[in-house]
Amino acid sequence: MRVAYNEQMTELADMLGEMAGLAGTAMERATQSLLQADLPLAEQVISDHDQITELSVSCEERAFALLALQAPVAGDLRSVVSGIQIVSDIDRMGALALHVAKIARRRHPNHVLPEEVNGYFAEMGRLAVALGAGAKEVLETRDPERAAKLREEDDAMDDLHRHLFTVLMDREWKHGVAAAVDVTLLGRFYERFADHAVEVARRVIFLVTGKMPVDPDETTEPQA
């Protein structure tokens, strides 16, 4: 019985890692389609999203079956519940990459981004893909130290996201409301993709240690 449970948990962990890898690949391709106005690549991201959806359903079914049939307790229960929560985070990562690709498709053959923000999104795309790869890595290794470092890597994404707003609010912005809306939405998609990758890492830390790491932003006390 125990051997069967361990095998099923290993299979679930492998599927979660595969999901994270697909989400990272989707964001990499979506970014390329965005920067290059590449319609076939955007279409590929959109059509490939079904793979993430199917894996998400399979992971949830497997996790709920473990709950129902194995009745896990203590650390085992923590593993299964964490797995269910991680499925949701990775599913959202895939959906955010899908949103990027759909905007690229909608604006084709035009480029979505004004030239002066291309560099921001090239870097945000790079960071998102790296965070996606980091999430896949910690799911496979269950290394809490590596997982904790993803929070630091996310800080660079947050900085870029904040700075992007200074560009949008600048009086020199001359690209109109529609472009500003696209840039705002896209910036949010990348920022949220990174947040979900960090959340996966936090859940891995909880899975391994039994303690959920505290978000530094949540512990900051108000100034007197």
CATH no. of 2-212: 1.20.58.220
User: What pLDDT, on the 0 to 100 scale, is given for residue 172?
Assistant: 85
| pLDDT score of 1 more than 60 | no
In terms of phi and psi (left: phi > 0; alpha: psi -120 to 50; beta: otherwise), the region of 59 is alpha
Q: Which residue in 35, 33, 14 sits closest to 25, CA to CA?
A: 33
| pLDDT score of 222 more than 70 | no
CA gap 131, 151 in Å, rounded: 9
In tens, the pLDDT along 63-77 reads: 888 888 777 677 788
Cα end-to-end distance, the chain, whole Å? 57
All structural domains of the chain with their residue ranges: 2-212
- Comparison of pLDDT for 149 and 3, the residue scoring more: 149
CA gap 61, 72 in Å, rounded: 16
Q: Take residue 171 and report the two structure tokens written for it.
A: 């009086």
Q: How many angstroms separate the Cα of 51 from the Cα of each of 94, 95, 112, 137, 186?
A: 10, 12, 26, 20, 23
Q: Which residue in 188, 192, 196 sits closest to 165, CA to CA?
A: 188
pTM of the model: 0.91
Where are the extended beta strands (E) located within the chain? none
